[in-house]
Structure 1
Amino acid sequence: MMYQALLWLSFGGPERPEDVRPFLENVTRGRGVPPERLDEVEQHYLGFGGVSPINALNRAAIEAVEAELAARGIDLPVYFGNRNWHPMAEDTVGQMARDGVTSALVFPTSAYGGYSACRQYDEDILRARAAAGEGAPELTKLRQFFDHPLFVSAFADAVRAAAADVDGEYRLVFTAHSVPVSADRAAGPPSEGGHRYSRQVAEAARLVAADLGVAEYDVVWQSRSGPPQVPWLEPDILDHLDALHAKGVPAVVLCPVGFVSDHLEVVWDLDTEAKDRATELGMGFARATAPSGDPRFAELVVELVREHLADAPVRKLSDFTAAGCTVNGAPCAVGCCEPAQRSRT
C-alpha cells in the first residue's frame, strides 16, 4: 500500500494556564476522578506556569523524525494530533483529508500494550476518522516498540549517564504509569497475557537492566489517578522509596521506562515528589531521561515506518508478539486490551 503521510498521535497537554482545567476534564471524563484530585493536579500544572512540556517535546521529536525521513530519502509529511488537547486528532485528520491524504501511518507515543497505552489510540483513530467523514484517510497504526533495540539502548545509556551523578552504590528502579489492575488483566486472547501492559513493562526493564549488566532492580508504578477503592498496580514509587530506605539502600537511580518523553507526570512525580522524598530520607537520587530527545528515537520511528514502506525487518529483543499494528482503529484481537470496568460504589 502507498502511504502519503505519518500521523504523530499523542496525549496532549496545556500550553497556557487557562487550558489546564479543561484539559484535565478531557483526560478524566467518565473515569470517576474526584474533583479534589483534579484540583490537586491542576496545581501541579500551574506550578509550572500552566504549561506541560509534552507538546514541545513532541514537536522536537517530530522535527527529528522529519530529518531522519529526509536523510533516508523518504517523502512522508508528518502531521501532529492529540487525544486531549490541541492540536486535536480530529482536527488534524480533517486537515489530512483536505490535503488529499487518503492513506497514512500512525505513530502513537506509547511503546506498550494495554487499554490506555494501546487500544485508546485505536479509539482516537476511530473518533478522528468519524469526525473527518467520508473523505477520511485510511490510518494504519504502527506496532508496539517496548522491546525495540533502539528503545532499550537509549534507556540504558540514559541510566549510565544518570548513575554517573550518584556517589557509591545505588538501586536501579524502573517506573511506569500505574493502571487499574482490572485493565491490566484485560489483555485479551493473545496467549497468556502477551499484550499485558505490566508484563511488557517488566520485559522492557529486564532488557534495559541486561544491557547495563545489572542483575537486581525493581519495577514500580507512579501517577495513579483513580478512586481509592479501585486497585491499581503497586508498589507506588514513594512507598517504594520508604521501603528501600528501611533496608538501608543509600541511593536510587530512577528510569522512567514506561514513558517516551519527560512530560509533566515524569517531571512532577519523579523530579519533584520522588526527589523530595529521597532528600527527606537522606538518599542519593538521580533520574534517567526518557528517550524522545535521543537521536535513536527518531531512528526507531523511521524503522517502524519502513516496516510498512519497504518490508524492513521487525527488530525486537523479546519473544513477545509484535502487536499493536491496527487499521482504522479495529482492535488487533477480539476482546484485547479492554478498558477497566468502572466501579459503581
Structure 2
Amino acid sequence: MVYDAFVLLSFGGPEKPDDVMPFLRNVVRGRGVPDERLAEVYEHYMHFGGVSPINQQCRDLLAAVGTEFAAHGIGLPSYWGNRNWQPMLADTVAQMRDDGVEHALGFATSAYGGYSSCKQYWEDIAAAREHVGPKAPRISKLRQFHDHPGFVEPHAEAVRAALGTLDPARRATTRVAFTAHSIPAGMARNAGPTGNRYTDQLAETARLVQARAADDVEYDLVWQSRSGPPQIPWLEPDINDHLEALAEKGVTDVVVSPIGFVSDHLEVIWDLDNEAKDTAARLGLGFARAASPGVHPRFVTMVRELVEERLGDQPHTTLGTLPTWDVCPANCCPPAKRPGAAA
C-alpha cells in the first residue's frame, strides 16, 4: 500500500472566548445534554480565558512528529484536522485533495477502542470525505496504541515522578488513581463483537503502567469528565467520590494519573488540577498529579513507529495481551442508545 501524507486527527478546542459556546454545541450536538451542563462547562473554559490548550498541544505534537519523520527518512507531508473546531477535518481533507494527496495515514489522539475514542474518528473521516466529494483522499487510521511502550512508558515515568513528590514515610498508605473519561454505562455494556475495547484496554494500560512505575503501591481505575443527561448512568466511581472513599479507608496520599489521555488538555486540567486537587485538600490527602505524554520523546517516537508498522518497516510492538488491528470490524463499538430509541 502506498501512502503519501500523514494527518493528525484530534478533538479540537476553542482558542478565544467567542469560540467556547459554538464549540460546546458542536461537541454535544444530538446528545441531549442540558443547557445547564453547557453553562457549567462554559465557565470551566472561561476560567482559562476561553482558550483550550489542546490545539496548541496538537501543533506541538505535529511539529515534533515532523522532526522525527525527517530524522528517519519518512517523507510524508503532515496535516491536521479536528472533530469539533478549526481546523475542521473536512477543510483539511479539501486541502489535501488540492495538494494532490491520494491516501494518507491518520493518527488519532486517543489510545483506546470504543465509540467516541476510535469509531467516531472513522465516522469523522467518512463524513469529511463525503463533504469534499470526488477525489477526496483516502485516510487509513493507525491502530489503537494503549499498550505500546511509547504510550505506557511516559505514563509510568510520570507516575514515578509524582510519587517522588510525596512523603516516602507514608508510602504504605499511598495509592495511585488512574483516570479516564467516563462513558455511558450502556455504551460499556453494548460492546459489539470485539468486546469492550475501551474499559478492557484501560484496565490493561493501568496494569502495565503500575507494574513499571510502582508495583508496591495499590492502584484503582476510576473515571472523570462525566457529561450527558443526569438520568443516564455513566461509569463510576468519579475521581472525587473515589478520593472520599480512599480517605475513609485511611489512605493518606494519592497520585492521580490521567492514562485515558495523551495530553494535558482542559478536561485534565480542570477535573484533576482543580476539582480533584481541591477535594483532596479538603480531605487532608497528599495529592500529586502525574503528567500525560504530550510531546515526550518516547511518545513522539511511537507515532513514527506506528507509521513504520503500516509501511512494513517496523514490527507490531505491544506490551499487553489484548488484540489490536488496523481496520476495525464494521459493527465494532456501537454508540450508546439514546433515551427513547427503539431496542
State the Cα distance separating 1:188 from its structure 2 match.
1.5
Distance 2:45 2:214 in 1: 37
CA drift of 1:322 comes to 1.2
> For residues 304 and 67 of structure 1, what CA distance do their matches in structure 2 show?
16
Q: Which residue of 2 aligns with 1:333?
A: 329
For 2:197 and 2:309, the matched residues in 1 are separated by: 23
Counterpart check, 1:148 vs 2:144: no
Structure 1 vs Structure 2 CA RMSD: 1.1
Is the counterpart of residue 184 in structure 1 residue 188 in structure 2? yes
2:226 aligned residue (209, 224, 232): 224
Q: Distance in 1 between matches of 2:146 and 2:190?
A: 19
Q: Which residue of 1 aligns with 2:15?
A: 15
Per the alignment, residue 43 of structure 2 pairs with 43
| 1:175 aligned residue | 179
Q: 1:213 to 1:160 in 2, by over 3 A?
A: closer
> Which residue of 253, 270, 273 corresponds with 1:251?
253
User: Helix, strand or coil for the counterpart of 2:247?
Assistant: helix
* Counterpart residue number, 1:260: 262
- Specify the code of the residue in structure 2 equivalent to 1:29: R
Q: Please list every run of 5 or more consecutive structure 2 residues that lacks an aligned counterpart in the other structure.
A: none
Please tell me whether the aligned partners of residues 160 and 214 of structure 2 are also in contact (alpha carbons under 8 angstroms): no
**SS state at 2:133 partner:** helix
Which residues of 2 match residues 90-129 of structure 1 at below 5 A? 90-129=90-129
Q: Distance in 2 between matches of 1:256 and 1:231?
A: 22
Q: Give aligned-pair identity as a percent.
A: 60
Code of the residue aligned with 1:114 in structure 2: it is: G
Aligned ranges for residues 190-339 of structure 1 at < 5 Å?
A: 190=194, 193=195, 195-214=196-215, 216-323=218-325, 325-326=326-327, 332-339=328-335
Unaligned runs of 5+ in 1: 327-331
Q: Which amino acid aligns with 1:158?
A: A
Secondary structure in structure 2 of the residue aligned to 1:293: coil
**How far apart are the structure 1 equivalents of 2:24 and 2:178?**
26
* Alpha-carbon distance between aligned partners in 2 of 1:101 and 1:187, rounded to the nearest angstrom: 35
Cα separation, 2, equivalents of 1:339 and 1:72: 39
The question of whether the paired residues in 2 share the 8 Å contact of 1:203 and 1:318 is answered with yes
Q: For 1:178 and 1:119, how far apart are their aligned partners in 2?
A: 16
After superposing on structure 2, the runs of 4+ consecutive aligned residues of structure 1 that deviate more than 4 Å are: none
| CA distance in 1 between partners of 2:71 and 2:271 (Å) | 37
- Counterpart residue type for residue 178 of structure 2: F
Q: Is the 8 A contact 2:61 2:300 kept in 1?
A: yes
Counterparts of 1:63 and 1:46, CA distance in 2: 28
TM-score by length of 1: 0.95
- CA deviations on 1:267-321 (whole Å, 9 max, x unpaired) are 0000000001101111110011100221111100000000112341100011111
